Amino acid sequence: MSSQAIQEDLTETDLVHYVAYNQRHLAGIVIGYEENRVDLVIFTNMHNVNGVKNFGHQFQQEVPYSVVPLAGTWHWPEKRRDETRDT
């Protein structure tokens, strides 16, 4: 997908996946974008070093788009909700 096609389909509040450095795909909401880079609020639910589940959020700036899920990039969710609904 070209950066122009991404830009035309992208709006603030879109749900995307952010690939964390442990390769988990985390839900993120677009809060800004320019070219093929986005600013995201990412929601986390991981276990901390003590094994306790830790919920939170983090902000990432200027995250690049990648078709291949590489750490530190974003991509569209593998299944978009509107594509899985019964019509």
Residue (of 68, 85, 67, 71) closest to 42 by Cα position:
71
Sorted by where each begins, the domain ranges of the chain are: 3-77
The per-residue pLDDT for range 28-67, each reduced to its tens digit, is 999 999 877 999 999 988 777 777 887 888 999 999 999 9
H/E segment holding residue 1: none
For 48-73, b/e burial (b = at least 16 CB within 10 A) is eeeeeeeeeeeebeebebeeeeeeeb
pLDDT value for 73: 96
pLDDT at 74 over 70: yes
